[in-house]
Amino acid sequence: MKVKISYKGTILIASLEGELDHHSAQYVRQKIDSELMKSSNRDMILDFSKVSFMDSSGIGVVIGRYKNIQKLSGKLIIINLNNQVRRIFEMSGLLKIIPVYDNLEDAIKNVKGNKNAAYK
């Protein structure tokens, strides 16, 4: 699993690549959390465009980052889910609490606009 960190203004973007499973979950947690701690960013976008697989450990990573962002009064948004990973998000109930968009531009508009915007 690779994690590429970038910024769009004050929004932290974590682009994930590979399989988000029990083998990579701890690394992903540490990488994202350390970046959040050293920056003043409160809003984060997780880009799943290159994630080929996710298991329950991946769900835990997402929920944990969601809780951390909530404590900062920020917003977490997920983008670019493939069909398999989207199904896991649906079954786990994550789609009910975390907004998901098909592209970065729409996600950025949501972060910059209404913090209570409807989920897509």
pLDDT score recorded for residue 120: 36
Using an 8 Å Cβ cutoff, are 66 and 93 in contact?
Answer: no
Kindly list the distances between the CA atom of residue 31 and the CA atoms of 19, 83, 92, in Å, as whole numbers in the listed order: 15, 26, 24
pLDDT score recorded for residue 101: 98
| Region of residue 73 (phi > 0: left; psi between -120 and 50: alpha; otherwise: beta) | left
- Number of Cβ within 10 Å of residue 89's Cβ equals 20
**pLDDT tens digits, residue range 3-38?**
999 999 889 999 999 999 999 999 999 999 999 988
Residue 28 CA to residue 25 CA, distance in Å, equals 5
More confident residue, 40 or 116: 40
Residue 42 CA to residue 12 CA, distance in Å, equals 8
**pLDDT tens digits, residue range 29-72?**
999 999 998 888 889 999 999 999 999 999 999 999 999 999 99
Using an 8 Å Cβ cutoff, are 39 and 11 in contact?
Answer: no
CATH no. for 2-112: 3.30.750.24
